[in-house]
């Protein structure tokens, strides 16, 4: 009996040490691995359909899915990143020129409006009495913001090789997770010390939340960003790709939305006297960008389980801070898993109801 206890302690310690060592080994690759897991779940229905066309050849079906992800998501993202970089550089040059000239009128030409000028002078008079130089504050803020943007851009370029490696690792993970999905799912379920119905509940709810997050929130946000950027491009506004991406990101977060960009832009166009462009952008934003969410969301989500808006907000925001842009995918996944496990713990700790006889 004593030997059995010692053996159990030894095995437990050995497992603990090896788990920790394996964590250290895999730590540099956690982001691409988690992203590979998420995309494997998202594209699993596509893999199943391709499996029928390939007559059960798992390797070919998995490879085709990886190629589809590359063509549909990765290649467009690379071109989009290039356009954003170009527009950020252009914006930086304009800000730098304004800072050097000590004037903001080239950046904000609508301030030439007489009504706004009078309002600005009245407000500025009170601020000057408080020893606040709004012009210098504004220009210094722009200067610091531009330096921050350029430093982020430089860091992104330096990390380009790391991005390519992580991309390859994500696709590599996806390939084997799809190809050996049945075996891996059975192994993972076997390691979970819970009843079968609770295991199924974890997998089912996690899959539903991932589908709702990816297909619902992110795709709707991407469509709204595309439509917003398209409107900016058609109307000849500056940096349409950059503003489109910002609108897409704002549309992802609860409470916020793409209107935080297109509505002020409409007002600015109206102040500048560009009435047709202002009304066009306003109507496009109200009846196309805003309503697209109500039209597409039900089709994509279709009654699946969703995270609470508060949980969605912090999982997106925290995911981006911890993991970078890919945190948009990883954050909700980790948060959802945590909430599901909490729910199961609550269920386990509930006292069993004893049926009463009649």
Mean pLDDT, contiguous 10-residue spans, the chain (358 residues)? 72 86 88 86 89 89 93 83 75 67 54 50 54 55 58 57 81 93 85 79 79 78 91 90 88 82 89 87 91 74 67 82 78 82 76 52
Q: What is the pLDDT of residue 95?
A: 66
Domain end (from 162, 182, 202): 182
In this structure, the answer to whether residues 178 and 201 fall within a common structural domain is: no
pLDDT of residue 251: 87
Q: What is the dihedral of CA 20, 23, 25, 28, to 10 degrees?
A: -150
In this structure, the answer to whether residues 198 and 178 fall within a common structural domain is no
Distance (Å, whole) CA 179 – CA 172: 11
Cβ atoms within 10 A of the Cβ of 73, count?
12
pLDDT of residue 72: 87
- Residue 353 falls inside a structural domain: no
- What is the predicted pLDDT for the residue at 272? 76
For 98, 99, 144, the CA distances from 92, given in Å and listed in that order, are 10, 10, 11
Return the pLDDT at 113: 47
Within this chain, do residues 341 and 235 fall inside the same structural domain, yes or no?
yes
Does 122 fall in a domain? no
Pair (166, 246) in one structural domain: no
Q: Which two tokens stand for residue 12?
A: 């437990």
Residue 68 has what pLDDT? 92
Using CA atoms in the order 268, 272, 276, 278, what is the torsion angle rounded to 10 degrees?
0
Q: Do residues 208 and 146 both lie within one domain?
A: no
Range of the domain at 286: 193-347
Indicate whether 99 belongs to any domain.
yes
Distance between CA atoms of 26 and 38, rounded to whole angstroms?
17
| Residue 330 CB burial class (10 angstroms; 0-12, 13-18, ≥19) | buried
pLDDT score recorded for residue 280: 94
Compute CA 309 distance to the chain's CA centroid, rounded to the nearest angstrom.
Answer: 15
Helices 134-158 and 75-101 cross at an angle (nearest 10°) of: 150
Number of domains in the chain: 2
Q: Are residues 165 and 211 both part of a single domain?
A: no
Examine the domain organization and report whether 167 and 236 are in the same domain. no
- Looking at the structure, tell me whether residues 151 and 269 fall in a common domain: no
pLDDT of residue 60: 92
In a domain, 173, yes or no: yes
Average pLDDT in the chain: 77
Q: 217 and 167, same structural domain?
A: no
Q: Name the H helices within 43-113.
A: 44-53, 58-69, 75-101
Nearest to 232 by CA among 293, 284, 267: 284
In a domain, 154, yes or no: yes
Query: How many whole angstroms separate alpha carbon 258 and alpha carbon 288?
Result: 11
* Domain identity same for 169 and 35: yes
Check whether residue 143 and residue 284 sit in a common domain: no
In a domain, 123, yes or no: no
User: Same structural domain for residues 157 and 237?
Assistant: no
What tokens does 63 get? 């490879």
Question: What is the predicted pLDDT for the residue at 305?
Answer: 58
Within-domain flag for 127: no
352 in a structural domain: no
């Amino acid at each position: 009996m004593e030997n059995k206890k010692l053996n159990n302690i030894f095995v437990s310690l050995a497992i603990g040490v090896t788990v920790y060592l394996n964590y250290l080994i895999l730590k540099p690759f956690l982001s691409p691995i988690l992203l590979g897991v998420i995309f494997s779940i998202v594209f699993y229905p596509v893999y199943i359909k391709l499996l029928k066309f390939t007559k059960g050849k798992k390797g070919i079906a998995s490879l085709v899915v990886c190629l589809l992800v590359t063509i549909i998501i990765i290649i467009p993202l690379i071109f989009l990143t290039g356009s954003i970089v170009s527009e950020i550089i252009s914006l930086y040059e304009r800000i730098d020129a304004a800072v050097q000239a000590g004037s903001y009128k080239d950046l904000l030409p609508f301030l030439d409006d007489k009504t706004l000028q009078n309002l600005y002078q009245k407000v500025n008079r009170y601020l000057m009495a408080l020893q606040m130089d709004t012009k210098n504050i504004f220009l210094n803020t722009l200067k610091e913001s531009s330096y921050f943007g350029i430093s982020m851009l430089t860091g992104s370029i330096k990390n380009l090789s790391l991005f390519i490696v992580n991309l390859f690792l994500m696709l590599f993970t996806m390939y084997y997770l799809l190809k050996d999905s049945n075996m891996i799912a059975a192994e993972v379920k076997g390691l979970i010390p819970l009843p079968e119905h609770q295991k199924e509940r974890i997998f089912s709810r996690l899959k539903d939340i991932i589908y709702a997050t990816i297909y619902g929130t992110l795709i709707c946000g991407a469509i709204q960003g595309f439509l917003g950027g398209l409107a900016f491009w058609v109307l000849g506004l500056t940096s349409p790709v950059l503003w489109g991406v910002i609108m897409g990101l704002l549309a992802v977060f609860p409470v916020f939305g793409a209107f935080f960009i297109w509505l002020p832009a409409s007002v600015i166009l109206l102040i500048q006297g560009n009435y047709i462009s202002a009304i066009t952008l306003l109507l496009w934003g109200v009846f196309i960008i805003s309503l697209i969410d109500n039209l597409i969301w039900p089709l994509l989500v279709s009654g699946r389980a969703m995270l609470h808006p508060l949980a969605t907000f912090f999982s997106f925001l925290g995911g981006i801070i911890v993991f970078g842009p890919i945190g948009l995918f990883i954050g909700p996944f980790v948060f959802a898993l945590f909430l599901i496990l909490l729910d199961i713990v609550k269920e386990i700790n509930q006292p069993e109801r004893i049926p009463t006889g009649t």
